[in-house]
Structure 1
């Protein structure tokens, strides 16, 4: 969801097709970050046990799986664009 200052209604940007496991759906997402260099969302899709990349450009209809089979909970990207992901199953 995107919430602009002063708005009372948010706008769904990713996963507009409802809950599920297709590449155009999310299931219990827990974290999101914006990769400003590539203009992508990186999403921790915990319910589907994956991390996906979703372009912020208009017309994008589905995401791309970056990492599968991970109990992701949180994400962080440093200044060198290294991606750090917490895995709640492995306690890492």
Structure 2
């Protein structure tokens, strides 16, 4: 099954005449599918921090892997450890204020906050949601794509229900 994950917009203005090299370099994985520290299995979401560290939601390995610039092996920073497991993470972002990873888990139907440093388990911040993608704005609100409900919801701090900001009228091709 092919799943496409939306790419988040950057805060950097890209000029309309910008051109990229046609020869990219591998910065994470690239050693075939697997569960080794140098491999990924169905990587979906990713986040790049200010230090150019890449965080990858490694879906089939049930983990988030951190890849520092210039390294050939990743470090598991969330999941991948038995009882404190993620279940098919699809996306990851960083909350700078709390220095934590925000991860959406497909099979557990939740969004969790996982400490970036020395974290051994996550805390559920949104539950019972078919989350497919997420981002955070400058006001610290989460925006969550709910695939099952065909909508995008905004969650402010302390909010458990969220507010529909896009769609909310079920599946269809109308603009509402």
TM-score range, shorter chain: 0.7 to 0.9
- State the Cα deviation string for residues 16-50 of structure 1 (Å, max 9, x = none): 315xxx5x111110001000011011100111111
Deviation at 1:9, TM superposition (A): 1.0
Q: Which residue of 1 aligns with 2:149?
A: 90
Gaps of at least 5 residues in structure 1 are none
CA distance in 2, matches of 1:57, 1:11: 12
Q: Report SS of the residue matched to 1:90.
A: coil
- Tell me the matched-pair count: 87
Q: In the alignment, is residue 43 of structure 1 matched against residue 107 of structure 2?
A: no
Moved more, 76-85 or 3-12: 3-12
Q: In the alignment, is residue 5 of structure 1 matched against residue 64 of structure 2?
A: no
Q: 1:52 aligns with which of 99, 106, 112?
A: 112
CA distance in 2, matches of 1:81, 1:33: 12
Q: Report SS of the residue matched to 2:138.
A: coil
Q: Report SS of the residue matched to 2:107.
A: helix
Gaps of at least 5 residues in structure 2 are 1-64, 152-176
CA RMSD of aligned residues (A): 1.1
Which consecutive segments of 4 or more residues in structure 1 shift more than 6 A? none
Higher Cα Rg, which structure:
2
Q: In the alignment, is residue 81 of structure 1 matched against residue 140 of structure 2?
A: yes
CA distance in 2, matches of 1:5, 1:64: 28
Length-normalised TM-score, structure 2? 0.47
Report 1 or 2 for greater relative contact order, CA contacts < 8 Å, sequence distance ≥ 6: 1
CA distance in 1, matches of 2:141, 2:107: 24
